[in-house]
Amino acid sequence: MEAACTAEAEQQLDSFAAYLAHGRGYSTHTVRNYVSDLRQFFCYLESKDRNLTPASADYYEVRGFLASRFKANTSASLARKLSALRTFYHFLAREGKASANPASLLPTPKREQQLPTFLSVDNVFRVMEAPGKDSFRDLRDRAMLEVLYASGLRVSELVGLNRPDIQFDLQVLRVWGKGRKERIVPFGGKAKDALQAYLQKREELLRSKSPESSSRVVEQGPLFLNRSGGRLTTRSVARRLDFHLRRLGLPVQASPHALRHSFATHLLDGGADLRAIQELLGHSSLSTTQKYVHLSLDRLMEVYDRTHPRARRSGRVRPLRAGR
């Protein structure tokens, strides 16, 4: 449970949260994490000196705070806390309440290299076919899984879709990504069929909940609904995917994000350009997309070790055929 800050500090955090959400377009998830990180920083300063404030803190206090969290947090969490502090001091300078950014002097902690989890093409196909084709829930699950894999969406982007965001004639989706950045992504024929089948059940559900629903109500609002007619949550998507994975006997650690990773990896294996994949995923930096190159290289080396006659790492040398 987070410790409480002073009333003045809480007011400052509220102003910062509003700045992140409306001024910078940060997601609710990021805003919540940044505010939590700063609340820890405020409490740390108060434990050192009750008269110490973020505006009067210097490089050594910021470094001391991060050092105090070293054992309790991963390098990724520490990097996020430093990012929160840098953004907060930028906010204070903008408000005229700080003249320097002591967090900018600290190097970003090096993150552990973690290759993303993905599913093979065969297993993805099994997952796509797992839901039934009759009930509202089955058709919704089939549509959302097809869209996740067809367009490489983040799960937050999936549940944020509204009915007008689909253009069936062009087979594209209008997606709002991180920082409220808009992008247009395509979807294939399988996803189109699944969406059209689901939309019929979606209309039936909306009209059953509100018989007087107008066509405008049906054509607006959230795309993916729960059985009560409300917007589906990211947690519900994760639960439904987990349900289908368990039924198939596939790895349950595969999250909805694994379908996004599978989308990128399979495109790269099929010869897609890395820049194109970057655009489709909505990555602001190509370096974020390049992790998929490592996945392909790992598999390439496995094939090399298994098939090349002179691959020493395989532990054996295959005999050459006569005539070579």
Q: Which residues are catalytic?
A: 154, 178, 257, 260, 283, 292
Angle between helices 121-129 and 256-269 (to 10 degrees): 130
Cβ neighbour number for residue 41 with a 10 Å cutoff: 25
| Contact in structure between 130 and 55 (CB atoms under 8 Å) | no
Q: Can you tell me the distance from the alpha carbon of 217 to that of 221, in angstroms, rounded to the nearest whole number?
A: 7
DSSP of 214-278: -HHHHHSSBSSB-TTSSBPPHHHHHHHHHHHHHHHT--TT--HHHHHHHHHHHHHHTT--HHHHH
What residues contact 121, with CB distance under 8 A and at least 6 apart?
Answer: 266
What is d(CA 16, CA 256) in angstroms, rounded to the nearest whole number?
A: 31
SS3 label, residue 314: helix
Answer whether 264's CB lies under 8 Å from 293's CB.
no
Cβ 29 vs Cβ 159: under 8 Å? no
Pull the structure tokens for residue 155: 């799960």
Q: What share of the chain is helix, strand, coil (3-state, %, to 5)?
A: 60, 5, 35
